[in-house]
Amino acid sequence: MQPADRSSQGPSLHRRLNEEAQRLCKQAEAASTGHEREQFVRRARQAENAARINAWLATRNLQPV
């Protein structure tokens, strides 16, 4: 079995999480009020928090020496 080709990387995790959060916010705005809208808002908030945590973990101060 050949190893996967890693030469072409996609967008970073931080970027993907931010894009997902923006997409979910737009869906929340378009959704009718109620449970569906709250679910979109909740998932968007989770994606935003995940992006912040990922950025925090990637700082130089937290990298192993």
**Two tokens at 12?**
């970073």
Q: How many domains does the chain have?
A: 1
pLDDT digits (tens, 9 = 90+) for 1-54: 666 666 667 888 999 999 999 999 999 999 988 999 999 999 999 999 999 999
Domain with 36, as residue range(s), is: 13-62
Residue 59 has pLDDT above 70, yes or no: yes
- Alpha-helix runs per DSSP H in the chain: 13-30, 35-57
42 token code pair: 């909740």
Whole-model pTM: value is 0.75
Q: Is residue 8 part of a domain?
A: no
